Amino acid sequence: MTMQITKDDLVDATQADDRSIDELYARRRAPLIERHGARIRAFFAAVLPPMIVLTILLGIWQLLCIKPTSALPSPSRIWSEANDLILHPFFIAGPQDIGLGWRVLTSLQRVAIGFGLASGAGVLLGVIVGQSRWAMRGLDPLFQVLRTVPPLAWLPISLAAFRDSHPSAIFVIFITSIWPIIINTAVGVRNIPQDYRNVAAVLRLNHLEFFWKIMIPSAAPYIFTGLRIGVGLSWLAIVAAEMLTGGVGIGFFIWDAWNSSRLSDIFVALAYIGVTGFVLDRIVAAIGAFATRGAQAS
Amino acid sequence: MSYLRIDHVDKVFTSGARATRVLEAVDLSVEKGRFVTIIGHSGCGKSTLLNIVAGLVSASAGGVVLENRQVDTPGPDRAVVFQNHSLLPWLTVYDNVRLAVDKVFSRKKSRAERHDWTMRNLELVQMTHAKDKRPSEISGGMKQRVGIARALAMEPKVLLLDEPFGALDALTRAHLQDQVMALHRTLGNTVMMITHDVDEAVLLSDRIVMMTNGPCATIGETLDVALPRPRDRVTLSTDPHYLECRRRVLQFLYERHHYVEAA
């Protein structure tokens, strides 16, 4: 679509007695403006409300903590004390004095290992529990009990077993995020329509072919629901685990800041954690939406 | 000599202490290349019978013999067209058929041959134009055609049709019935179809098998339809033999074995 007036339009315009060129011009432009207008409106409809709410909340916070004696810092004080953390996420000024971006990346690396292991093991266990009635009867009650154990309760056991903080933190991620993956995969496998099983039976698909061609695509929406819950839980757990195990992760940064009474830094770190968790969730959701496109029966 | 033989098949479903005898002493012989329809009221166990032939359900007693060999597990030699098409929604039309072709002809045909064979079967049901669409993007009638193509692509000894047109509107159904008749004429498959539509049964079949009501359903009567092929539904609508066959099936279903509402 061009907005230019072509020669044909001009001819048209000269032929039409009561239509001016301006009118024609406006007629051709109108849909374009409308189309862009709709997109701009949609953008503002999505962005404006949270911005307004955020501004109001920051304003209230500012008012509540405006006194110099208040226990918590106000937004303006956080900005003046910790703007280097906000503005420069990737500085390195010493072995323990690095930007929050690096710390988040360190934590993300642990999450990636722990969550990656949990995804693989969780899907496999879920498939077994979903496929076999006896495995379900034997394992499901165990899973239902274990999944309610809070992440940090695993930490001492894990420290005792691994005698090192790094694998311990990864184990805590693993054990925290695996349950929803197992349970959702099992439900997904149990819900494979009998029709698909019949198709597989008539075709005489072997176990491996059934796994890749029927089971995984059919259970994919459930599996990704489990992965999404799992990645959220691992991000919750890593921060808590790092507070206790030390190192350079974002969790330890908060603990360190608390010990040195840098409250403003903690607020900035919280914002980093929140945004990162949100992004993680959206990434897994997006992968899920991509991988399961067309998977829903009709 | 019979090609497919259902030999004294019983089926008992047990749930807990309660046992329900669904089929009792079902005996049926089908010659090669014949189109046989099984008709009966819903709940009479005709789908169970088809599933036993398909091997998806095992008979409690008796068995099924195909070409002198007993069959009791599912396999591509008895391809099923399911009532609700059962296409895999994450695969395209082409891939749904190709999956079957790849599995059945993995050793017998080369890659290129398997592609050609997939396309041949999509051509048979006139679905090549939609080969890259997913099942959710095509109509119910089209899905059923793809289902038929998938079944035909397995080169089955017996083609099993489980109420294949049940979920379709009347016009689409008539169109598909004509297509199935045309396919049967060109390919000469042995076909066993389940239906509860009297006209469909008379129009398509060489023989109609009428089942009594369950529980303990069995074959009440068989009727040979000696109408010449190709058959045309409009001409047949006034044909005396067609009308007589129709009358006899209706009489069986509604006078002698009328449907009883499950208590």
- Per-residue pLDDT tens, chain A, 298 aa: give them: 444 444 444 444 444 445 556 665 655 555 656 667 788 888 888 889 999 999 999 999 999 988 888 888 888 888 888 888 888 888 887 777 788 888 889 899 999 999 999 999 999 999 999 999 898 899 999 999 998 998 889 989 999 999 888 899 899 999 999 999 999 999 999 999 999 999 999 999 999 999 999 999 999 999 999 999 999 999 988 888 888 887 788 888 898 889 988 888 899 999 999 999 999 999 999 999 888 876 554 3
pLDDT at res. A21: 60
Helix (H, G, I), strand (E, B) or coil at B138: coil
Q: CA B17, B22, B26, B29 torsion: positive or negative?
A: negative
pLDDT at A36: 76
Q: Which residue has the higher pLDDT, A240 or B95?
A: B95
In a domain, A81, yes or no: no
Shared domain for A233 and A104, answered yes or no, is yes
DSSP-derived 3-state class of residue B23: strand
What 3-state DSSP class applies to A262? coil
C-alpha angle with apex A79: A77 to A81, nearest 5 degrees?
65
Task: Say if residue A143 is in the same domain as residue A54.
Answer: no
A136 at interface of B, judged by CB pairs closer than 8 A: no
The structural domains of chain B, with segments of one domain joined by +, span 1-77+158-263, 84-155
Q: What is the DSSP letter of A151?
A: G
ipTM of this complex: 0.88
**Long-range contacts of range A152-158, CB-CB < 8 Å, 24 or more positions apart?**
A152/A237, A152/A240, A152/A241, A152/A244, A155/A241, A155/A244, A155/A245
Residues A278 and A132 in one domain: yes
Angle between helices B170-187 and B140-153 (to 10 degrees): 20
pLDDT at B194: 93
Residues from chain B that touch A196, judged by Cβ atoms under 8 A, are 86, 88
pLDDT at B178: 92
Residue A200 vs residues A153, B93, B122: alpha-carbon distances, Å: 44, 17, 20
Find out whether B193 and B164 touch, Cβ atoms under 8 Å: yes
| Contact across the interface for B136 and A298, Cβ inside 8 Å | yes
Asked whether residue B11 carries a pLDDT value surpassing 70, the answer given is yes
Q: Are strands B158-162 and B190-195 parallel, antiparallel or unpaired?
A: parallel
Nearest CA in chain B to A199: B86
Residue with tokens 């903590």: A65
Confidence category of residue B250, pLDDT binned at 50, 70, 90? very high
Residue A171 falls within a domain, yes or no? yes
- The per-residue pLDDT for range B218-239, each reduced to its tens digit, is 888 899 998 988 899 899 989 9
Q: Are B65 and B72 in contact (CB under 8 A)?
A: no
Position A185 scores a pLDDT of: 95
C-beta pairs of A140-147 under 8 Å, 24+ apart in sequence: A140/A186, A143/A179, A143/A182, A143/A183, A146/A179, A147/A179, A147/A180, A147/A183
What value does the mean pLDDT of chain B take? 90
Domain total in chain A: 2
CA distance A218 to A194: 11
Judge whether A123 lies within some domain: yes
Measuring CA to CA, which residue among A190, A203, A131, A193 is closest to residue B86?
Answer: A193
Q: A143 and A15, same structural domain?
A: no
CATH number of the domain residue A247 falls in: 1.10.3720.10
The residue in chain A having the minimum alpha-carbon distance to the alpha carbon of residue B147 is: A199
Which residue, A179, A178, A190, is CA-closest to A130? A190
Residues of A in contact with B84 (CB under 8 A): 195
A71 assigned to some structural domain: no
Q: How far apart are CA B190 and CA B179, in angstroms?
A: 16
Does the residue A69 lie in any domain?
no
Tell me if B49 sits within 8 A of B26, measured CB to CB: yes
Are the Cβ atoms of A296 and B103 closer than 8 angstroms?
Answer: no
Which residues of B fall within a CB distance of 8 Å from A204?
74-76, 103
Q: Does residue A217 have a cis peptide bond before it, meaning omega lies within 30 degrees of 0?
A: no
Q: Is residue A246 situated within a structural domain?
A: yes
Contact B123, A283 (CB under 8 A): no
Sheet holding B207-211, edge to edge: B78-81, B158-162, B190-195, B35-39, B207-211, B219-224
Consecutive H or E run containing B26: strand B18-30
Residue whose pair of structure tokens reads 């359900």 in the numeric block: B57
Q: Which two tokens stand for residue A200?
A: 């597989």
| Whole-number pLDDT of residue A296 | 55
Token pair belonging to A74: 């106000």
Residues in A 172-211 with any Cβ partner in B closer than 8 A? 195-196, 198-199, 201-205, 209
- Shared domain for A33 and A161, answered yes or no, is no
Mind listing the pLDDT tens digit for each residue in A113-133?
Answer: 999 999 999 999 999 999 998
Q: Which residue(s) pair with B159 in the sheet? A: B79, B191
CA distance A110 to B24: 63
Q: What is the pLDDT of residues B201-216, one digit of tens each?
A: 999 999 999 998 877 8
Tell me the two tokens of residue B102: 């790849």
Residue B229 near residue B214, CB atoms below 8 Å? no
**pLDDT tens for residues B96-139?**
999 999 999 988 999 999 999 999 999 988 899 999 999 999 99
The partner residues of B210 in beta bridges, in order of sequence, read: B39, B221
Half-sphere exposure of B241 (CA within 13 A, CB side): 10
Which of chain A's residues have a Cβ under 8 Å away from the Cβ of B74?
198, 201-202, 204
- Which long-range contacts does B54-61 make (Cβ < 8 Å, 24+ apart)? B54/A198, B54/A202, B54/B78, B54/B80, B54/B160, B55/A201, B56/A198, B56/A201, B56/A202, B56/B80, B57/B11, B59/B9, B59/B10, B59/B11, B59/B23, B60/B10, B60/B11, B60/B12, B61/B8, B61/B9, B61/B10
Q: Do both A49 and A154 map to the same domain? A: no
Handedness of CA A241, A244, A247, A248 (dihedral sign): positive
Token pair recorded at residue B18: 């309660």
Show Cβ contacts of residue A130 under 8 Å, excluding neighbours closer than 6 positions.
A136, A185, A186, A187, A188, A189, A190, A219
Candidates A191, A195, A197, A202: best to mutate against B (most CBs of B within 10 A) is A202
What is the CATH superfamily name and number for domain B1-77+158-263? P-loop containing nucleotide triphosphate hydrolases (3.40.50.300)
Report how many Cβ contacts below 8 Å link chain A to chain B.
Answer: 60
Tokens 């990162």, residue located: A276
Q: B35-39 and B18-30: which strand pairing? A: unpaired
- Banded pLDDT at B193 (limits 50, 70, 90): very high
Residue A255, domain extent: 86-292
Q: Find, among B208, B104, B88, B87, the residue nearest to B156 by Cα.
A: B104
User: How many CA atoms lie within 13 Å of A240's alpha carbon, on the beta-carbon side?
Assistant: 15
